Each structure stands twice: as C-alpha cells, then as structure tokens.
Amino acid sequence: MHVLEGWERVVVVDAADLEWEPGQFARFTPDEVRLAGSAGALSLHNAGLAEVLALADAVGQSLPEMVIFGVQPGKIDWGEGLSPAVEATLPDLIDAVLEELEGDNHA
C-alpha cells in the first residue's frame, strides 16, 4: 500500500490467472479486482492486488486513481523470465499502457 502513496494515478501490470490463452491481457478497474478477489486472488503473488485493495479499504487509506492490466502467464509457477507467448504480446501490452497514459488529463 505504501508504494501507492503520493501518486495521483497508477497503472499496474501484473500476471493474472484469467484462464485465457497465455499472453492475453485485460484492463481492469480496482472495483473489478475487488470483486475477483472475493472469489480468490487475482494476482499470482503472495500478497495479491485484491488483498492490497481490501486492506486499504479496511484501514481507510485512500488510493490513487488506478488502472490494472492483468496478463495471462504461460505457466503458473515460480521461475525467471517471460514465456514466449507473454514476451510476444509485450508490444501490444505496451501500446495499451501508453494509450492509457495518453488519455490521462493529469499530465
């Protein structure tokens, strides 16, 4: 939560088990992540994004405007590097993030 303090707007990119083909990605709002988190963690890390959002709500911490891009990993396991499918989608993902930032009226 402390990493998010002081920012007006944040774009988060994280691995997410969307049960899609590896490399596919989706844009989410924090409310959508909170809903997904109620059925299980959206993020694949120990303290997932849904848990961070829930904790912020519980302690009354305000969060910046946030957009989340979840990317379906090729393999759900510990390891280094990206799968070929995820690596191949990086240009499209970067374009989507840049498009999101270009739509930002705060800059």
More confident residue, 42 or 24: 24
pLDDT at residue 23 greater than cutoff 70? yes
Name residues whose C-beta falls within 8 Å of residue 11's C-beta, 6 or more positions apart in sequence.
Answer: 66, 67, 68, 69, 97, 100, 101
What percentage of the chain has pLDDT greater than the value 90?
45
- Please tell me the distance from the alpha carbon of residue 36 to that of residue 7, in angstroms, as a whole number: 24
Q: Quick one: pLDDT at residue 103?
A: 83
- Answer yes or no: is pLDDT of 41 > 70: no
Q: What is the pLDDT of residue 25?
A: 97
Q: What is the pLDDT of residue 44?
A: 45
**What pLDDT, on the 0 to 100 scale, is given for residue 80?**
87
How far is Cα 77 from Cα 92, in angstroms, rounded to an integer? Answer: 24
> In the chain, what are the domain boundaries?
2-102
Which pLDDT tens digit goes with each residue over 67-103? 999 999 998 888 889 999 999 999 999 999 999 999 8
Residue 43: pLDDT band (50, 70, 90) is very low
Q: How far is residue 64's CA from residue 9's CA, in Å, rounded to a whole number?
A: 5
How would CATH label the architecture of 2-102?
A: 3-Layer(aba) Sandwich (3.40)
